[in-house]
Structure 1
Amino acid sequence: MSAPVVDLKGRSPWSVLPPLVLGFFMIMVDTTIVNIAVPSIQKAFGASYTDVGWVNSAYLLSFAVLMLPAGRLGDRYGPRGMFLVGLVVFTVASAACGFAGSIGVLIAARVIQGVGGAAMTPQTMAVITRVFPPKSRGAALGVWGMVAGVATIAGPVLGGILVESWGWEWIFWVNIPVGVVALVWTVMTVPHLETHKRYFDVIGTVLAVAGLFLVVFALQEGETYEWGKIWGPVTIWELVGVGLVVLAVFVLRQHRLGEKALLPLRLFHYRNFSLANVSAFMISFAMLGIFFPLTIFLQTILGLSPLHAAYVNLPASLLSGVVAPFAGRLSDKVNGKWVVAAGFAFIGVSLALVYAVLSPEVSEATLIFCMLPFGIGTGMVFSPLVNLATAGLDHRTAGAGAGAFNAIRQVGSVVGSAAIVAMLTGRLATTIPDAARSVASTLPSQLQAPFEKIFASSELSADSLQQGFQPPADVPASAAKQIGAAAQQAVGDGFTVAVKDTLLLVIAALVVGGVAALFMSSTRRGQDAPASGPAAVDTEDDEQPATV
């Protein structure tokens, strides 16, 4: 093993890794752990699916948009200090989430939790890049990538155990002891690293936050406002348009600032970095897109408890953890892009199987079997993908590159969460009435009018599924039982169609991510970028012109 990039006073670089991946595991678990608690949180606060969707989106949004400035701040003030600050903020915000007395307070606490996560995440990659020598850097980043994959898929499993055993609050409170351990461990093992004084783009930060917020808000709230007007003449689609324009202005500003930018566009001159970001965006989109509708389906339609719903994902989660280290080693021997592309294919096959078997009568065992390729695929994607993306980063671009990669990956989660919530709620407003009309035609004529009255008297939306549909009070008990069963069938059939339609969007995202992987070059672990790549960019002195 070659000498480490920094002096660790005789310690192995691997001694630095545990507190970093422990903190990172906690962050990544919280991107998916809420999904399993959606029905419980709805019941506790009387919230809608859209409201609970914001519990996830608020965290993902603040997490994603602040990682770019957090990466730069880590370069300026040191990754160790930024990681510790983020760890404290994340842990305190986790406690506040558990004590929240309303859905609004919970969403606000999740925003702050996302701020802490954003401060931490780029520092984990930056420290690894700067502490580990090139020869062993790929293996360390492979562990980092494995943690990302395992944590994301393990979130619903851990959440199901906590919600079933102690209540939804514990999906947040469990972070407190983990955060304290990670804090002490970081102080003991993570070294102070050299800092680089850089220009901080405040205007760019505001543009990125504003643009992403407008797009995500519009996507997630579109169904609430029936994709029409929100305030006065302002419509949902106008918000989307304004958000995209603001993001375009952000990109133009980054181009003008060059190496002073929050997001140095020169990083994207490196082919693998660009394509890895596309794949990372799509896999994050897909991960959130899978768990949200499937978790609700398991609990609302199949009637599973949070714990039993979590068990459906448990075998895939364990399989992902087993496969990931082997995938990392395999990408040492063959071009890593083939491993990543194969991982996308496995995930796509898994979703195709779920799509084929999904029905209100599907068994848990069938779904567990269909999810096994999903576990294999996630184990194959994350580790090699991180290595392909970071092979050209060195200490001069570590913070910016890590911030960019993680920000784009999390933007995929934000957009995925918003798009899936919007599509699911939108489709439910159509599929359940269609299913109700189909079921009504099978009922005796004297029961059709009372049956149709159930749906006509309800503002049919995803929110009403949790409360169920009650027959009119003047219907005899014998008829009420038949009408209730028919209503349950209509809801089950309609919800199944909506979930399957939503899965098609996720499969499309996986196709894009897999194709992007196939077009990557053959850069190997431990192989730095060529002189024209981002590693050659001199960003240590912002007052000097960049050298290439």
Structure 2
Amino acid sequence: MEQQASRRAAWALVASGAAGFMAALDNLVVTTALPTLRRDLGGSLEDLEWTVSAYTLTYAVLLMFGAALGDRFGRRRFFGIGIALFTAASAAAALSSGIDALIAFRAVQGVGAAIMTPLSLTLLTAATPPERRGTAFGIWGAINGLAVATGPLIGGGLTEHISWHWIFWLNVPIGLLLLPVVRYRVAESRTPDARLDVLGTVLVSGGLFGVVFAVVNVNTHGWTGGRVLTGLIAGAVLLAAFVRHGITHHKPMLPMRLFRNRAFAGVNAAGLLMFFGMFGSIFLLSQFLQGVGGYSPTEAGLRMLPWTGMSLIVAPLAGRLADRVGGRVVVVSGLALQAAGLAYYALVLTADLSYVAQLPALMLNGVGMALFFAPSSALAMSSVGPAEQGIVSGTNSALREVGGAFGVAVLGSVFSARGGFGSPQAIVDGTTPALWIGATGVALAAVAAALIPRRRRPVAVGPATARATETVDGRAAAPAGR
């Protein structure tokens, strides 16, 4: 029985890790291919930006809806549907002959990713015993962190040495191999008596659409542009209505009482702030390496490996460490290291900065990011009972994506206001204050994570969960009665 459970957990890790890798990779894989896409497919600069934003928009907006569908109709079933949709859209994107078609298929890719991403984490949690979840989340976090950070490198390498079509073809064999694994090796799970909250779904999807749509248009239209202000105001109104709905409805999609749970509130605030600081900083530092260092996209990606490659080494160790000492300590330490790494970068950044002088900052950020990813996911999933883990996974993923979108927009605006791409010194002048803002965001994430309670106590947040067998900081607790 134990051997069978181990095999089931291993297959769930394979499926969730591969699916998470595809979804995370496609967040940034197109960025370094934009000049080639413009030459081959035509289109304006705004059209090219939408090949990135169309994916981000649908992905962030529909994450909570994807989790809700899995809870109601079967997580494995919709996980497979998400993989199939993402794979088919990837093939269609690779075959696109015009920029409009590519944008449309990128949006469909985002829909598939929004379904499979939160369900991958829920299925992994359900298949893995509590005492082994730290290690499993460590491997899952390493794979996702590597995908996010190496997206520009993989995109640049494939575009430069083969063809831009292969940044999409790459997903197709992975997706086709995953489908039978999910069908025959991953156990089905769902939330008993789950029902779709139609009003809540409309409110949160519309609200997130308004906010993310506004943010992805900031670099083109500015913060005071009509479509940006309209999106922010409409999105905020709909999200406020969603919060009220979560308080007053008898069975809402996201019960607002969950935010009274310090573990749930703390880990979600930390995820939002961490992605705000880190995504915006990665975006600008990759531009610094190319614009000031004179590296090609592939060369710049290779020089980011002390940051990005740390995920493969440190994240699995972080998961094991979280099993021993609790996820809170590991997450706070990781965020503190990231804040220190970004602050160091801001202090030493000059137009003639050598690559060797950048290595301490790169390594601090790499270790810190690896320490964050796995334990933070475990903290989110262990903060509630099994019946609510699906929507918690969707909420956590959605807030991270929104934080990343805001990070790129806010830090990009600071960069444009204080500097620009006119000269190496202008790049430094714009990047330095933006990095300080990024470091501040990650430091605030560490403060939020530090508020997560560490005392051992059962977690009871809803009628479906009378008693949990884990502590709020992600460690396994003794069963009731011992």
Same fold (TM over 0.5): yes
Give the 3 Å change call, closer, same or farther, for CA 168–410 of structure 1 in structure 2.
same
Distance in 2 (CA, whole Å) between partners of 1:130 and 1:377 is 27
Distance in 2 (CA, whole Å) between partners of 1:400 and 1:248 is 18
Unaligned runs of 5+ in 2: 468-482
Asked whether the 8 Å contact 2:70–2:190 carries over to 1, the reply is no
**Residue-by-residue CA offset, 1:103-148 (whole Å, 9 max, x unaligned):** 4433322211110011101211221232233333343333323333
Give the 3 Å change call, closer, same or farther, for CA 51–346 of structure 1 in structure 2.
farther
Partner of residue 341, structure 2: 350
The correspondence of residues 334-349 of structure 1 with structure 2, limited to 5 A, is 334-349=325-340
Partner of residue 403, structure 1: 394
| Structure 2 counterpart SS, 1:210 | helix
TM-score normalised according to structure 1 size = 0.78
2:179 aligned with 1:183? yes
**Residue-by-residue CA offset, 1:9-42 (whole Å, 9 max, x unaligned):** 8954323321221111111122232333344445
Shift of 1:383: 1.2
Q: Name the aligned partner's letter for residue 356 of structure 1.
A: L
Give the 3 Å change call, closer, same or farther, for CA 228–394 of structure 1 in structure 2.
closer
2:235 aligned with 1:243? yes
**Residue-by-residue CA offset, 1:44-99 (whole Å, 9 max, x unaligned):** 55666655443333222211221111111111111111011100111111223333
Identity %: 34
The correspondence of residues 50-199 of structure 1 with structure 2, limited to 5 A, is 51-194=47-190, 196-199=192-195
Asked whether the 8 Å contact 1:62–1:115 carries over to 2, the reply is yes
2:432 aligned with 1:530? no
Q: Name the aligned partner's letter for residue 274 of structure 1.
A: A
Give the 3 Å change call, closer, same or farther, for CA 42–507 of structure 1 in structure 2.
farther
Give the 3 Å change call, closer, same or farther, for CA 41–500 of structure 1 in structure 2.
farther
Shift of 1:322: 0.8
2:427 aligned with 1:498? no
Distance in 2 (CA, whole Å) between partners of 1:97 and 1:370 is 36
Distance in 1 (CA, whole Å) between partners of 2:256 and 2:306 is 41
Distance in 2 (CA, whole Å) between partners of 1:507 and 1:22 is 30
Partner of residue 252, structure 1: 244
Partner of residue 419, structure 2: 431
Asked whether the 8 Å contact 1:73–1:82 carries over to 2, the reply is yes
Distance in 1 (CA, whole Å) between partners of 2:440 and 2:342 is 11
2:383 aligned with 1:392? yes
Partner of residue 457, structure 1: none
TM-score normalised according to structure 2 size = 0.87
The count of corresponding residues between Structure 1 and Structure 2 is 467
Distance in 2 (CA, whole Å) between partners of 1:431 and 1:271 is 40
Q: Please point out which of 323, 334, 339 is paired with 1:332.
A: 323
Shift of 1:523: 5.8
Shift of 1:3: 6.3
Partner of residue 479, structure 2: none
The correspondence of residues 452-463 of structure 1 with structure 2, limited to 5 A, is none
Give the 3 Å change call, closer, same or farther, for CA 345–46 of structure 1 in structure 2.
farther
| Structure 1 counterpart SS, 2:387 | coil
Partner of residue 214, structure 2: 218
Give the 3 Å change call, closer, same or farther, for CA 495–172 of structure 1 in structure 2.
same
Partner of residue 477, structure 2: none
Partner of residue 439, structure 2: 507
Q: Name the aligned partner's letter for residue 283 of structure 1.
A: M
Partner of residue 468, structure 1: none
Distance in 1 (CA, whole Å) between partners of 2:214 and 2:68 is 29
Give the 3 Å change call, closer, same or farther, for CA 292–44 of structure 1 in structure 2.
farther
2:14 aligned with 1:18? yes
Shift of 1:238: 4.5
Q: Name the aligned partner's letter for residue 282 of structure 2.
A: F
2:367 aligned with 1:376? yes
Asked whether the 8 Å contact 2:142–2:315 carries over to 1, the reply is yes
Partner of residue 256, structure 2: 265
Shift of 1:369: 4.3
Partner of residue 288, structure 1: 279
Asked whether the 8 Å contact 2:280–2:409 carries over to 1, the reply is no
Asked whether the 8 Å contact 1:57–1:418 carries over to 2, the reply is no
**Residue-by-residue CA offset, 1:392-432 (whole Å, 9 max, x unaligned):** 334311222222222222222232233344444x42xx635
2:309 aligned with 1:318? yes
Asked whether the 8 Å contact 1:336–1:522 carries over to 2, the reply is no
Unaligned runs of 5+ in 1: 433-464, 466-489, 539-548
Q: Name the aligned partner's letter for residue 303 of structure 1.
A: G
- Alpha-carbon RMSD across the aligned residues, in angstroms, is 2.8
Q: Name the aligned partner's letter for residue 465 of structure 2.
A: A
Distance in 2 (CA, whole Å) between partners of 1:173 and 1:250 is 38
Q: Name the aligned partner's letter for residue 176 of structure 2.
A: V
| Structure 1 counterpart SS, 2:423 | helix
Deviates more, 1:359-368 or 1:165-174: 359-368
Deviates more, 1:110-119 or 1:397-406: 397-406
